[in-house]
Amino acid sequence: MSLPQIVLIPGLLNDADLWRDQITGLADIARPRVADITRGSSLGALAEMVLATSEDRFALAGFSLGGIVAQEILRRAPERVTHLALLDTTMLPDTPERAAEREQLIAQASKPGRFHGFGRKLAQSYLAPENRDNADMINRVRAMTQRLGPDVFIRQTRIARPDSRASLTGITCPTLVLCGNHDQLTPPELHRSMASLIQSADLVVLEHSGHLTPLEEPENVTDHLKRLLQRDPVRK
């Protein structure tokens, strides 16, 4: 009997290297596959691309923007998802202020030579205090942003973030909601609210992480994903 598939969806300007440790760590109980969300221009298009390249039934883990895509997949094909993990993500739409901020970022990234990827300045808001001077971690994230570049950044930033609160209440598969205690982009209180809306959700807050939990606490993230996959797909 073959191992079940788990589809891992990266976040904005992340590629498969985001999930590097989980790909290795989960290989004894599942077959990890990293989805590509760099090409679609809408949330629906991204969800359909993931569904078209996944098996009939699969576990699903989405990080940040990938978590928003995962929620759209659950709206479109809930019967295909056996287990769900939402990491460092949101179920809320952009506020007008956040939407305006995204437009400013797009305008800046559109100018030649103005896209610089991830550096120490962004690390202050993305990483836990103890990780903000971790050169290896910063360089790993910077390499992903540079590989994908400004066109992917602009395309992913333009994707509308919907209000998913109502649809979360209909999720019935075993679910993990996980974030870092120092996550400034999608803070723990947001994840507590998210978990409270999902009847089958377990909430985990990692003490030594900011927004980038798969990189900051890779072993803990892998362990919690393993526990999720060991739960019965139908939770009474």
* Residue range 19-44, pLDDT digits in tens: 999 999 999 999 999 999 999 999 99
pLDDT band at 234 (very low <50, low <70, confident <90, very high): low
Domain ranges of the chain: 5-93+163-229, 96-157
The pTM score is 0.95
- The dotted CATH code for 5-93+163-229 is 3.40.50.1820
Q: Give the whole-number percent of the chain exceeding pLDDT 90.
A: 83
HEC letters along the chain: CCCCEEEEECCCCCCHHHHHHHHHHCCCCCEEEECCCCCCCCHHHHHHHHHHCCCCCEEEEEECHHHHHHHHHHHHCHHHEEEEEEECCCCCCCCHHHHHHHHHHHHHHCCCCCCCCCCHHHHHHHCCHHHCCCHHHHHHHHHHHHHHHHHHHHHHHCCCCCCCHHHHCCCCCCEEEEEECCCCCCCHHHHHHHHHHCCCEEEEEECCCCCCHHHHCHHHHHHHHHHHHCCCCCCC
* Residue range 183-206, pLDDT digits in tens: 999 999 999 999 999 998 999 999
* Residue range 116-149, pLDDT digits in tens: 777 677 889 999 999 999 999 999 999 999 999 9
* Residue range 197-230, pLDDT digits in tens: 999 899 999 999 999 999 999 999 999 999 999 9
Lowest-pLDDT range of 53-57, 104-108, 190-194:
104-108
Residue 235 has pLDDT above 70, yes or no: no
Residue 105 has pLDDT above 90, yes or no: no
